[in-house]
Amino acid sequence: MEVRWFGHSFFLVTTEKGKRIAFDPFDQSVGYPLPEVEADMVLVSHEHFDHNNVALVRGYQEVIRQPGEYRRGDIRIQVFPTFHDEEEGKKRGRNNVFRVEVDEMVLMHMGDLGAIPRDEELQAWKPVHLLFVPVGGVYTIDARGAQELVGKLSPSITVPMHYKTRFLSFSLNPVEHFLRPFERVKFLKSSTFMVTAKTLPSLPEVWVLEI
């Protein structure tokens, strides 16, 4: 599996069989360079401008926006409804969390998760091998909330997203706030990595990507 980060919450995952899944494409106002992206499907966590620019992605056959379960060949996608804030959506509405099973791994994209679900809900998400989690606060869970979520889900690889960088046009907290308690942190100096079920780290790690 290849994982590529375009910044913010926008990822492209390419499976071993070549299926391409795009998550949360942003528009030009977010500040990151707009990439040229082709994908077979686009997953949208919620309808805010920094997550739902489906028109940026070329060639897609399907857009998944609603909670439920979807099977596409050897790919199983579960979409769980969550909240974009700590007041059950009263401030910023709902948010989808995506759980994707493919290539003998489970990856989860948290979108703009604003509150940590109950423990019984989290148990239904396990196991998790790759976790894409917002860490910048302000509009989502903050660094401490993201740390708590990582502790509860115990992913093999955590990839922080949705934090302040030199590109971002609005204010979020930097990734360093999230990283402080973790002992195994890898700065990849790349926006892309490859991983298979056999090459997952034996102990949990945080991988920080770079645009």
Indicate the pTM of the whole model: 0.94
Predicted confidence at residue 87, as pLDDT, reads 58
Specify the DSSP class assigned to residue 88: T
The token duo for 165 is 């960088």
**Model pLDDT for residues 127-181, shown as the tens digit of each residue:** 999 999 999 999 899 999 999 999 999 999 999 999 999 999 999 999 999 999 9
Which H or E run contains 146? helix 143-153
The answer to whether 173 and 136 are in contact (CB under 8 A) is yes
Question: Domain residues of the chain, as ranges?
Answer: 2-196
**Model pLDDT for residues 26-47, shown as the tens digit of each residue:** 999 999 999 999 999 999 998 8
CATH of domain 2-196: 3.60.15.10
Residue with tokens 């790690």: 205
Reference 158, options 126, 137, 134; nearest CA is: 134
